[in-house]
Amino acid sequence: MRCFRTYPRTRPHPHPRTHPGPHPRTTRARLRAAVAVAAGLVLAVSLAACGKAAQVGETSGPTGHHRGALRIGLLLPDNEIARFQRFDKPLIQQRVKELCPRCTMTYAYAQHDPAAQRYQVEAMMANGADVLILDAVDTKAIRHSVIQAHQAHVPVVAYDRLAEGPVSGYVSFDNYRVGQLQGQALLRALGPDARDRQIVMMNGSTTDPNAAWYERGALSVLRGEVRIGKSYQTVGWRPENANHNMTAAIAILGPHAIDGVLAANDGVASGVIAALKTARIHPLPPVTGQDAELNGVQRIVAGEQYMTVYKPFKPQAYAAAEMAVALGHGRSLTGIADRRVDNATARDIPTVLLTPLAVTVHNIKQTLIKDGMYRVDQICTAKYADACREAGLIG
């Protein structure tokens, strides 16, 4: 059976007073240009026939009837952060294939460029995407693209970061809790005299609303319990920017006046630790992290990084895939989403918020290895063999 769409593909022209935009002919020309610009960034992955999601009796929804194979677009911020290549993309693909074996999936990496991501959204819609899974580089800058998708009857699932605009679903972790776990771990590492200690906060990027939640969660634990000597935002989550900020903090506060660093994720932690080493600070103060990247886990084993926050990627990726397939077939998200949240422009967005876990050298086996995120041999390479023995990961 041929799988096809029954709703119109043309977009309604936005109201000039509320959504100013180019003439429709200009928009179509821009979309064709977007396809060309994004051609080098967008790769298609065929997943084959109308499978389980198409067999369970699709119902009409806001996108109309759509029986059979869907074209799903996945837009990720970059391919530099290991989790997107290693976990998010393949896990989403896997779940989509299980639910709809003949569905196709297109993906693109924006390399931290909001403009590139906007072009990629337009290119995917121009190429007939039925639904988008979007991890926004800049949640505000992408708003107009989300509005365009909504007007074209293409639902958008906000993934990991809550994009502005009329998104149809949202999947992430309890990001306030992430910050709390980081703050609690840092206080434990500082010991009973934490009130006499001074830390540096190396927060995430201002373009990422999750970063604000991490910071709030951390401050809810740290404020009044430790002195915060300096606090920085890490532009684009880039390790080199964290390194620059940490170098400045060391110069201002002094190399022996920093007792700990609240680093928002493992990439930020890597830049922080490099700056501490360059300043010949020994022993290294405790440094937090997030995402359980392999390099971060190895730094934990080696005693260079104190902890990371593990966010099990499989349930997050699976929930996003399930939302996308349901929305593409015009079904409700009831049974998938168990919460509702608001963004800056929309209310009551069906949401899945998952629970993060703190990981230190003492529970790597019980978390990351047990869940199959890494094997012991992946962590315990020759460089880390002695540290792994000391940590009890190998005999």
Question: What is the per-residue pLDDT across 177-230, written as a single tens digit (0 to 9) for each?
Answer: 999 999 999 999 999 999 999 999 999 999 899 999 999 999 999 999 999 999
Whole-number Å distance between alpha carbons of 137 and 133: 13
pLDDT score of 287: 98
Residue 121 falls inside a structural domain: yes
pLDDT of res. 86: 86
Any residues with CB less than 8 A from the CB of 109 and at least 6 apart, and which? 41, 76, 77, 78, 79, 84
Report the candidate in 77, 103, 173, 165 with the shortest Cα–Cα distance to residue 326: 103
Domain CATH for 264: 3.40.50.2300
Is position 1 within any domain? no
Provide CB contacts within 8 A for 386, sequence distance 6+. Answer: none
The tally of CA atoms less than 13 A away on the side-chain side of residue 66 is 30
Q: What is residue 12's predicted lDDT score, i.e. its pLDDT?
A: 35
Residue 328 to residue 64: CA distance in whole angstroms: 9
Q: Are residues 307 and 387 in the same domain?
A: yes
Sheet with 156-159, edge to edge strand ranges: 42-49, 102-109, 71-76, 131-134, 156-159, 169-173, 349-354, 339-341
Q: What is the rounded distance in angstroms from the CA atom of residue 280 to the CA atom of residue 275? A: 9
Q: pLDDT tens digits, residue range 59-70? A: 223 444 455 689
Count the neighbouring beta carbons within 10 Å of the beta carbon of residue 333: 22
For residues 351 and 169, is the Cβ–Cβ distance under 8 A?
Answer: yes
Q: Which residue has the tokens 């910071």?
A: 215
Residue 340's pLDDT is 96
Q: Both 288 and 185 in a single domain?
A: yes
> Is residue 212 one of the residues assigned to a domain?
yes
pLDDT for residue 66: 58
Is residue 382 situated within a structural domain?
A: yes
The reply to whether 6 falls in a domain is no
Please tell me whether residues 54 and 150 are part of one structural domain. yes
Contact 147, 87 (CB under 8 A): no
Q: Are residues 263 and 299 located together in one domain of the fold?
A: yes
Residues of the chain under the 50 pLDDT cut: 1-65
Instruction: Indicate if 258 and 285 belong to the same structural domain.
Output: yes
Do 204 and 256 share a domain, yes or no?
Answer: yes
Clarify whether residues 321 and 382 are in a common domain: no
pLDDT of residue 18: 33
Enclosing H/E stretch for 329? none
pTM for the structure as a whole: 0.78
- Alpha helices of the chain — where are they, by DSSP H? 24-38, 51-55, 82-83, 89-99, 114-126, 143-151, 175-190, 209-222, 239-253, 266-278, 294-302, 313-328, 376-379, 385-391
Q: Does residue 101 belong to any structural domain of this protein?
A: yes
| Same domain, residue pair 332 and 242 | no
Let me know whether 225 and 326 are in one domain. no
Average pLDDT, the chain: 86
pLDDT at 56: 27
For residue 4, tell me if it sits in a domain: no
Three-class SS state of 169: strand
Please give the pLDDT value at position 68: 65
The verdict on 200 and 255 lying in the same domain is: yes
Asked whether residue 141 is assigned to any structural domain, the reply reads yes
Task: Check whether residue 271 and residue 339 sit in a common domain.
Answer: no
253 CB contacts (<8 Å, ≥6 apart)? 198, 200, 229, 230
Nearest of 175, 207, 129, 217 to residue 352 by alpha carbon: 175
Cβ-Cβ contacts under 8 Å for 11 (sequence gap 6 or more): 24, 27, 148, 151, 152
Number of domains in the chain: 2
Q: Can you give the pLDDT at residue 326? A: 97
Tokens of 58: 């699709």
| Full residue range of the structural domain in which residue 68 is found | 32-173+312-354
Instruction: Say whether both 366 and 345 belong to one domain.
Output: no
